[in-house]
Structure 1
Amino acid sequence: MRYIVVGAGAVGSSIGARLVENGRDAVLVARGAQLDALRADGIRFTTPEGTRQVPVPVVDGPEAVELRTGDVLVLAVKTQHSAAALSEWVDRPVADGNTAGESLPLVCAQNGVESERLALRLFRRVYGMCVVLPAAFVRPGEVTAAYGPCTGALVLGRYPSGEEETAQAIAAELEKCAFHVPVVADVMRWKYGKLLGNLTQTVEALCGPVRPGGPAAELASLSRAEGTAVLRAAGIGYADAAELADLRSGRVELQTPTAGGALGSTWQSLARRSGSIEADYINGEFVLLGRTYGTPTPVNETLLRLARDSARTRREPGTVSPETVLGLFVRD
């Protein structure tokens, strides 16, 4: 198998670097300053084993890759960029005479649950991946994956459901590259569980570290309570916090400090002044379901608005007062 990793952020670069380090064939697809940095020097990759330069092959788009039978597309862009990326790759010719959408497996290694829906419109073979891979990408060309002994836990399964040989083969290769990769028949249950946890990342990005007992933690708790109520109203099952903790336990544990004190991926998006944020597909997913099933989501609606505004104005992370936001919902 050759892995075409579309998106060279924290997750895509970590997967690409680990694949290359372990002798697998991988190509990263990057853009902008990240593309320039990777072309010049490879990935400056920091893990518990130390820091090194990993010379990962990198291209700027689908026209630079001749696709062949046996390739696996790994979609690792932020969800807000999924539709554009899928459109770029779906009609690319493969050596077997088909298009990528007709013959290649596509793995959505992303937060949220929307990319799988988008992909299945265009690709016959879609796989969901619940990504528990805490990594920091704040400066071009530099990625820190500070957890071990596994770099991350990647729960993999066919979308919308089912298990089969391709998922098992991908998992077996990733398992040899410092990842824990359970293959499940109900991958979206895991992704919805992770999505609930990602709500805390939005609060963290806006308000700074979410410390137990503090106002940011109270705000995150209100956001998750809304999310839980929405999933129950919609009849959607999800992996609970205990299952997600067990997935990580003894495998994905913090071993070295993260780069520059970086927090989660949503915080990193604001720190890089990227101009966009994934909250549309995190908080926004719960807002959508709440409106569909008649369940109020005022906290997540407010957090979504604030997140979008912070991204649009390129506001620094951690500058929104959690007390002010709480004052909109909590009354004495």
Structure 2
Amino acid sequence: MRVAIIGAGALGGTFAARLAAVGHDVTVTARGAGLAAIQADGIRLTGGFGEAHAHPIAVERLTERPELVLVCTKAQDAEAAIAANATVIDGAPVIVVQNGLGGVATARRLLPASDCFGALTIIAANYTKPGQVTVTTPALTYLGRGDGPADAATRRWQALLEPAVPAAVIDNFVGAQWTKLVVNMLNALPAITGLSVQEVVADPGLRLVMTASMRETVRVGMARGVRFGSLQALGDRRLRAFSRLPLWAGQVLPLMMRARMGDVPNLGSTLQSIRRGQPTEIDFLNGAVVREAAEAGVPVPVNVHLTALVHEVEGVGTPLPVAEVLRRFAASPAPH
């Protein structure tokens, strides 16, 4: 099948290399050094899915309609990237592989003739340098759409992806996006401190801050009437129970996530963006919690502070010492 992947970073590169390895004709879009590297030497994939060296067609903008499109950009780049390719891809089925809450809605708005789906991937991958990706956690990718049961079309695309990467269909995709948003609370503190996710969770003070950000996220979702979808052993009942726990007891959640990662350092996508000198998607992660909280009238001081600190580190380009981060939180309003 002719598959186009918009955005050839860590996840886009992983999907491109794996889909090419099982026989699909893959085209990727990229820019700058990434485009030049892929055009010169393809994409080299190492780590959890094994080694692969794919040679997809690499372009800045698509010129031929594919049979399937995967949008793998960062959330803040999705609208511009989809719009840039809309005249070519509108009418082709589209899978948005993205963090945050609004990616599928954006694709539907810009591509009215396309059948649009969402994908939530638990794969962790490091974009080590242009054209090179290392998978640190080989995990499932979940496909779905809407808030009802998975349909036949979703199952068709799951069957296509499964030989390349582990894939499953998921009911209540909208609720699962909120569950993934809780998981994505792993990203901010590594970006602020420069530490891996595992190192952040191992620090007692940082782990409490992370737990508080997760608890705020769940409480906002509940206030917005969300029924959390099942994802990575998390679901509506467990997350609602977590929302009622005191912070010291709630730490079991990030510790559980840390245990599933293994020992290969997981940098998180937000820290990787900072190390490359690129804007992060923090406004679509912790920032999304802040926006949804404003609509619900729920206070989220930890997520407000985390969003601001990530933007601060973006601006200066260097991480903050752990002691300074904890001092800032000690001086800010405490979670309740």
Instruction: Bin the TM-score by the shorter chain.
Output: 0.7 to 0.9
1:215-294 equivalent positions in 2, closer than 5 A: 215-239=205-229, 243-244=233-234, 257=264, 261=265, 263-274=267-278, 276-294=279-297
- Checking the alignment, whether the CA contact within 8 Å between 1:155 and 1:190 is kept in structure 2 is no
Letter in 2 for 1:188: V
Letter in 1 for 2:126: A
User: Which residue number corresponds to residue 172 of structure 2?
Assistant: 186
- Checking the alignment, whether the CA contact within 8 Å between 1:138 and 1:262 is kept in structure 2 is no
- Checking the alignment, whether the CA contact within 8 Å between 2:75 and 2:98 is kept in structure 1 is yes
Distance in structure 1 (CA, Å) of the matches to 2:32 and 2:292? 35
User: Which residue number corresponds to residue 145 of structure 1?
Assistant: 135
* 1:91 aligns to 2:87 (yes or no): yes
The one-character-per-residue Cα deviations of 1:73-120 (angstroms, maximum 9, x if unpaired) are 11100000011012112222xxxxxxx33x211111011111122122
Superposed displacement of residue 126, structure 1: 1.3
Distance in structure 2 (CA, Å) of the matches to 1:201 and 1:126? 27
* 1:59 aligns to 2:54 (yes or no): no
For residue 81 of structure 1, the aligned residue among 74, 77, 93 is 77
The one-character-per-residue Cα deviations of 1:191-244 (angstroms, maximum 9, x if unpaired) are 210111111211121122313452111111111111111111111122367625
Distance in structure 2 (CA, Å) of the matches to 1:238 and 1:87? 30
Stretches of structure 2 lacking an aligned partner (at least 5 in a row): 236-255
- Checking the alignment, whether the CA contact within 8 Å between 1:219 and 1:322 is kept in structure 2 is no
User: Which residue number corresponds to residue 14 of structure 2?
Assistant: 14
1:285-324 equivalent positions in 2, closer than 5 A: 285-313=288-316, 315-317=317-319, 319=321, 321-324=324-327
User: Which residue number corresponds to residue 241 of structure 2?
Assistant: none
User: Which residue number corresponds to residue 204 of structure 2?
Assistant: 214
Residues 1:238 and 1:80: Cα distance change in structure 2 (over 3 Å): same
Distance in structure 2 (CA, Å) of the matches to 1:17 and 1:168? 22
For residue 132 of structure 1, the aligned residue among 118, 122, 127 is 122
Residues 1:241 and 1:173: Cα distance change in structure 2 (over 3 Å): closer
Distance in structure 2 (CA, Å) of the matches to 1:48 and 1:221? 28
Distance in structure 2 (CA, Å) of the matches to 1:140 and 1:326? 36
* 1:112 aligns to 2:100 (yes or no): yes
* 1:205 aligns to 2:191 (yes or no): yes
Residues 1:304 and 1:13: Cα distance change in structure 2 (over 3 Å): same
Letter in 2 for 1:80: Q
Task: Using structure 2 for the length normalisation, give the TM-score.
Answer: 0.83
The one-character-per-residue Cα deviations of 1:149-174 (angstroms, maximum 9, x if unpaired) are xx331110134655333322211121
Indicate the larger mover: 46-55 or 29-38: 46-55
Residues 1:14 and 1:5: Cα distance change in structure 2 (over 3 Å): same
Superposed displacement of residue 140, structure 1: 1.1
Give the SS at the match of 1:135: strand
For residue 326 of structure 1, the aligned residue among 325, 329, 335 is 329
Give the SS at the match of 1:235: coil
User: Which residue number corresponds to residue 157 of structure 1?
Assistant: 144
User: Which residue number corresponds to residue 41 of structure 2?
Assistant: 41
Structure ranking higher in helix proportion: 2
- Checking the alignment, whether the CA contact within 8 Å between 1:262 and 1:268 is kept in structure 2 is no
Indicate the larger mover: 158-167 or 191-200: 158-167
Indicate the larger mover: 49-58 or 264-273: 49-58
Superposed displacement of residue 121, structure 1: 1.3
Give the SS at the match of 1:152: coil
Distance in structure 2 (CA, Å) of the matches to 1:242 and 1:6? 26
RMSD, aligned CA:
2.5
Letter in 2 for 1:117: A
Q: Name the count of aligned residue pairs.
A: 305
Letter in 1 for 2:318: E
Superposed displacement of residue 282, structure 1: 0.4
Percent pairwise identity: 27
